[in-house]
Every structure is written in structure tokens, then in C-alpha cells.
Amino acid sequence: MKKHNFSAGPCVLPQEVFKKASEAVIELDNSGLSLIEISHRSKAFVDIMEKARALALELLGLEGKGYKALFLQGGASTQFLMVALNLLEKRAGYLNSGAWATKALKEAKIYDDIYEVASSKNANFSYIPKGYDIPENYDYFHCTSNNTISGTQMKAFPDSPVPMVCDMSSDIFSRTIDFSKFGIIYAGAQKNMGPAGTTLVVVKEDILGKVSRKIPSMMDYKIHIDKGSMFNTPPVFAVYTSMLTLEWLKNKGGIAAIEEENEKKARLMYSEIDLNPLFKGFAAKEDRSIMNATFTLENENLKDTFETMLKEANINGVNGHRSVGGYRASMYNALSIDSVKALVEVMSELESKA
Ligand SMILES: *Cc1c(COP(=O)(O)O)cnc(C)c1O
């Protein structure tokens, strides 16, 4: 039986995507060949890549606005250094809102002066820092839209005087944002788009070509753009599966439609956390993520009972990250509201037992 999967990533994808992707591994569109044995230069795969790139821009509302979508490898973690290599000439500003933001900052520091414009480390990243300045002489400003581990999310983005770079790994395609505010958006596929193995990078072309350093080819956005995201063999399965998820999202009505569902799920989850005296939310209320809800169980003696009940209810992946403890319910696009209902039911049942 299919479990309610609250895993933080890799995570749940639409059931129909799992089905179509697995069928394509056996045979792609009556071609007599598997998706993973055809040449990436074949028309069949080039069409898939082009469709995935176009769908990403279309869903983000960035068509015809000077952006290019790339499907690269090396995870979001490679983007931490690739951003710096391509944009950093003298100095950049980073908003340190979580563990992933800290890692992004650390990689960029290898190359040059990096300023932490603000940080919430002192409070274990339980809130989003606000009210900071972004000086005009920075090469770029980097932020993380959703902090997967602590469960906080930026509800507003600054009006940056310099190109804004955003790690949207854990909330891309989940809510409407003016995506044209950003110079670069990147996201590992494995949280809202597909399997691990590819990273969506959306680049505004005119911010490139301004640094004096030599950039290794695999690290150079310009080369990947010129080669149609096929400078080297792309991760064909991850790209195809991501394309299927983007198609699924488009057929559902796009980001605005899924946002409504995501908000419903989050409201249900947080109202249980707030109303049930056994649980306590971790993130500051105004910064709560609609993707990852973090909470603790106040009475440690109930831990085993709660976890047994979760298991019996077929619920998977609500354990919290080791740095925060407690629990984390990740409610990505493909998680149905019925799964949230199942979790909330267990939580309220625990209350009636306690
Ligand atoms: C998961 C995650 C990452 C890391 O992604 P990889 O693809 O494993 O490198 C980076 N940033 C955020 C916000 C994440 O949630």
C-alpha cells in the first residue's frame, strides 16, 4: 500500500509521473527503445530537453524575458560555487537564513569577499532575518527562499539593487512569486520537480560575462546555454521525469492552482500544531514554511507511542532533521491533502490518549 510520504527530499512525486517514468524506462513512446538507452542527441531526447526547459520558463512566467533554463548536474550544492564563479568579481552579500544558506556562503568565500548581510543563526535559524541593506556595489545578493531544515520561508523578497540569486530548492513551483526579480534561480530537482540527479538553473542572460576570471567549462553558465543544456551527457531520466512533473503541474493549472492546495495543507497542519497542547511549532509564526512544517512533541514520554501510531497509519518521513530535532512534515506539491489529514488525525488521537 502506498504510504503517506512526508519525506524532505527525495520525496513524493505525482503517482502518474512515477507510472509514466517507469514505462519510459522500458520503452519510450513506442520507439522500441528505452529512455535510458537512446542517444541524448536523438531527436526524441532533444525534444524532451527542450520541452522541459520551455515548461520551466512558462510555469515561472519568464518566457520572453531574457531568461534561459538549464538542467545541470551536481545538485544545488554545485550551484553554491557555480554562482560565485560566474558572478563574483569583488564582493557579494549573503542572507544567512539556514543550514543550506550557510553552505552556499562557505563555498563562495573560497573565491572572494563575502558579506553576511544578516543571519538568524543565533536562534538556530528559527526565523527569517529582515530589515537589512544590500549595498549597490555588491556583485550580487544571495538568499534561500525556503529553509528546508528549520521550516522557515521568505514571504517577501527585497528590492535588490544588484542581481538577486535564490536557492529555491525546496519551494520552487509551489507559490506565486514575481520570478523576474531574480537574476539566477536554482533548485535541485528532488523536492518539487523530479528525482535527484538534475538541478534546474534559470539564468537571466544579461547578468553573465562580467567577471574577469577564467571559468572552467563545466562551471560556465554561458557554455551550458550555448550548448542547449547538453554540453555533456545530461541526466536523461531525471530530465524526463522532471518534464513529466512540470506537465502535470501545467495541467493542474500551474503554480497559482497548486499554491491554493499548498496553503490549505499548511493551514490544516499548523492549526493542529497550534491547537494540540502536545506539540509546539519550531519556526516563528510569520515565517512558517508552507512546504516544511517543523514541530516538537512536548512530552518526551509519548515519543514511542506517537511513532508507533505514525507507523500504523502508514505515515513515512516525519522525523526532523538532526540539527533541529523533533518532527518535520514536508508537504511538497505532490503530497495530497489526504496525507496531511492522516497525520493530523494521528496527532489529535495522541492528544485524546494522553
Ligand atoms: C536539499 C537542498 C539543497 C541541497 O541540494 P543537493 O541537490 O543535494 O545539492 C540545497 N538547498 C536547499 C534549500 C535544499 O533544500
Distance 147 CA to ligand 1 centre (A): 10
**Is residue 94 over pLDDT 80?**
yes
Tell me the mean pLDDT in the region 74-88: 97
pLDDT at 242: 98
Q: State pLDDT tens for residues 277-287.
A: 999 999 999 99
Cell numbers given for 333: 506539491
Of 100, 142, 332, best ligand 1 pocket probe by most atoms within 8 Å of the beta carbon: 100
Q: For residue 191, indicate whether it is catalytic.
A: yes
Q: State pLDDT tens for residues 4-37.
A: 999 999 999 999 999 999 999 999 999 999 999 9
Distance 347 CA to ligand 1 centre (A): 29
From atom 8 of ligand 1, which residue's Cα is the shortest distance away? 75
Distance 191 CA to ligand 1 centre (A): 9
CA 126 to each of CA 185, 284, 300, 327, 328: distance values in angstroms, whole numbers, following the listed order = 23, 6, 21, 14, 13
Question: Contact, 164 vs 83, CB < 8 A?
Answer: no
Q: Return mean pLDDT, the chain.
A: 97
CA 154 to each of CA 52, 230, 286, 323, 330: distance values in angstroms, whole numbers, following the listed order = 27, 33, 9, 20, 16
Distance 91 CA to ligand 1 centre (A): 24
Task: Return d(Cα 25, Cα 173) in angstroms, integer.
Answer: 26
Cell numbers given for 223: 557554455
Tell me the mean pLDDT in the region 82-88: 97
pLDDT at 354: 82
Helices (H), 88-144: 99-109
For residue 122, name the pLDDT band (cuts at 50, 70, 90).
very high
pLDDT at 113: 81
Marked catalytic residue, from 139, 167, 171, 287: 167
Task: Return d(Cα 189, Cα 53) in angstroms, integer.
Answer: 13
Tell me the mean pLDDT in the region 66-84: 98
Q: For residue 100, indicate whether it is catalytic.
A: yes
From atom 7 of ligand 1, which residue's Cα is the shortest distance away? 75
**Is residue 308 over pLDDT 80?**
yes
**Is residue 49 over pLDDT 80?**
yes
Distance 108 CA to ligand 1 centre (A): 16
For residue 135, name the pLDDT band (cuts at 50, 70, 90).
very high
Distance 197 CA to ligand 1 centre (A): 12
**Is residue 146 over pLDDT 80?**
yes
For residue 80, name the pLDDT band (cuts at 50, 70, 90).
very high
Quote the longest CA-to-CA distance of the chain: 65
Cell numbers given for 94: 549573503
From atom 14 of ligand 1, which residue's Cα is the shortest distance away? 169
Tell me the mean pLDDT in the region 77-106: 97
**Is residue 121 over pLDDT 80?**
yes
Of 167, 172, 242, 292, best ligand 1 pocket probe by most atoms within 8 Å of the beta carbon: 167
Counting from 1 in the atom list of ligand 1, the atom nearest the Cα of 168 is 13
Question: Contact, 157 vs 143, CB < 8 A?
Answer: yes
Ligand 1 pocket residues where CB is under 6 Å: 9, 75-77, 100, 144, 148, 167, 169-170, 188, 191
**Is residue 194 over pLDDT 80?**
yes
Q: For residue 178, indicate whether it is catalytic.
A: no
Cell numbers given for 52: 522541459
From atom 3 of ligand 1, which residue's Cα is the shortest distance away? 76
For residue 91, name the pLDDT band (cuts at 50, 70, 90).
very high
Q: State pLDDT tens for residues 200-246.
A: 999 999 999 999 999 999 999 999 999 999 999 999 999 999 999 99
CB neighbour class for 328 (10 Å; exposed up to 12, middle 13-18, buried from 19): buried
pLDDT at 112: 76
- Judged by average pLDDT, the poorest of 111-125, 133-147, 199-213, 216-230 is 111-125
Cell numbers given for 42: 536523438
Q: How many CB atoms lie within 10 A of CB 29?
A: 11
pTM to 2 decimal places: 0.98
Q: State pLDDT tens for residues 154-186.
A: 999 999 999 999 999 999 999 999 999 999 999
